[in-house]
Structure 1
Amino acid sequence: MTVSALTRPGERDRLIVKIGEIDWIFCLTLCLIAGAGAVMLFSIAGSSWTPWAAPHLIRFALFFAIMIVLSLVDLRVWFAMAYPVYAVGLVLLVLVDLVGRTSLGAQRWLQLGPIGIQPSEIMKIGLVLALARFYHGLSSKSATLSWWLLVPAALILLPVGLVAKQPDLGTAMLILMTGGIMVVLAGLSWRLISAGILGAVLLVPPAIMFGMHDYQRKRVLTFLDPEGDPSGSGYHILQSKIALGSGGLLGKGYGLGSQSQLNFLPEKQTDFIFATLAEEFGFVGCISILILYAAVIFMALRTAYISHSHFGRLAAAGVTATFALYVLINGSMVMGLAPVVGVPMPLLSYGGTVMLTVMVGFGLVMAVRVHRYSEITSGKGSLL
């Protein structure tokens, strides 16, 4: 199919053309990462498909199908749904605060009959869509520095505050950083960026001392000195470092990781699965997975670059930023370069909620690619 043919609306709206425009190499890379996760989950369960590996693969297959379906949805539909999705996510976050289910000391879930949902995951997609729609109709001058910037500030800080109150520091940080990256990509003035960075640095000490729960503050202090309580608060990170270091260049071998197989490593199937991978496959295995992650990020950013609409560019870039932050935060966490905040390694870790969010987000990225020639018009501020 030639480019000139794809620019004709009647041609590019055909289903067979849309399917052909999906980046199947991108899809294959996602499958390789999820497959590596299943391999590791099979290993740490004692060479058993249960309780983690089989559900992991079944979920990925289902969510992969959802991603393909979403990639065929016209970008103008995503644009129209941007504010409603954000509004639904915000209402659900308020409901979590009022009637949410408490689990492991945090009130993060809504129980709808037999189904439990985590509204903060909906907000990760909702915020990206809302900011992309807002900036789509904003002039470059207004995006750089104007009173219009109060709108994206409110769009970001409202969910961050509600999520932090649950408390869920990791997700709140991720939402805040994703929103910040999108505002910067939209053309924020470097003067404001510099002032924001300086303000954030100055606010860190009082935020740690007065704005955090006791257990959150303890995590930060443990990050600074994990050896101070090796059998208590520092146990997780010390065991993770042992697993990372003992793997060496090529690892101990598949199924031979003592830290995970003998259950020294906590949360080995979720937050610390990257440390498990390092122990069994060593430096080579870690670099291989990181190359796959880098390939996903590169291809998603390329999709953002080739989009003809500002909404498409920002939406794809926002989803990519969220994914990249997952990888960065989890990798830093297991290596002791960041506090333990409960952020999993996407597609590699066990867990359906984050995987669903990631795959829905990539459905949006693929929709931007498939409908990259779509023209979207909107009024100033894109609030109408």
Structure 2
Amino acid sequence: MIYFDNSATTAIHPLVLDTYVQTSRRILGNPSSLHHLGSQATRLLNQSRQQIADLLGVSSEEIYFTSGGTEGNNWVIKGTALEKKGFGKHLIISSIEHAAVYKAAYQLESLGFEVSVAPVDSQGFIDVEALSQLIRPDTILVSTMVVNNEVGSIQPIKEIGELLKAYPTIHYHVDAVQALGKLPISSWLVDRVDFATFSSHKFHGPKGTGFIFWRKGRKIQPLLNGGGQESGQRSGTENVPGVVATARATRLQLEEVAEKIARQSQIQAYLIDALSQYERVVLFSKASANYAPHIICFGIKGIKGEVLVHALEEKEVIISTTSACSSRSHQEGGTLKAMGVPTELGTSAVRASLNSQTTMAEAEQFMITFNHVYQKFQQLFID
């Protein structure tokens, strides 16, 4: 089987799985318990927090564990709204955000908040000038992704950060779920970013775990109240095995990261070039420094995306139709619509996504299989 749906989820790394299993077996205590078993669990939590912080180049006090990207995005967006509602009720997101961002933001409208949407250009990049025109005296949050999960466009985080330096009271949140290990951290975790969201299963960690970077000095309200875990900010008994495994996954993901990025870029370039040779293939991603190295979004004119997905699946090649979280709706990807892609083309889109262990041999086999499927579709093509 060729698995090219890594933007939806990655296979847990064998070493990470071993860490999860061994921690589950050996660490019995609740970190909130006073006895030595609780202290043992607490030490592991603290060590994991410190390890992740060191890898990101931040303070351990700025790492908070969550259940993943959806919780992290909801926490930052709604937590900001609760904390800063006395100063304003205006939020800005972009037109290509993940559902966990835009649905969280729009839910706040029922509580009297207002959401403005910054547009993107035809290549999927946020228009920073247009975003700047949306800022108002009552704006309390700007939330943008780092890497678009559908086409892979890398957003201008540094430029947005520079813009927001003139507005120090506005929280700037980035959804970094698709960024870790795909881009140099220094290119997007800039000093004006106040919050960043991460999800472990996107980089070979366990599902149901994640963390946020929360810059010291910024304030948001907790969403989960109870026992006061995570410094009183995120109550609930900590998932110690998941946290420890996430720390190991983070370390493994960032080992030799430059070489991994280069290898994925080479494979991506090969696939994009090979796909471009087909007359009816349209490419929505590019092999360039402005696009993440692990995502290839394309379509076959006249063929619905889900039809291509299932045709390849029959040959044991796994891809998806744009975002996994919305692929079952059989609709045009939100990013492509925001880019101005015609609906007929947008509904043909599929996404192949790589990981750091993907090989050129897999890419070559993918193209052999794709060619076979493409030839079968020839009889369906209508000019």
TM-score (norm 1): 0.29
- Normalized per residue, which structure has more helix? 1
- Normalized per residue, which structure has more strand? 2
TM-score (norm 2): 0.29
The structure, 1 or 2, with the larger RCO (C-alpha pairs under 8 Å, 6+ apart) is 1
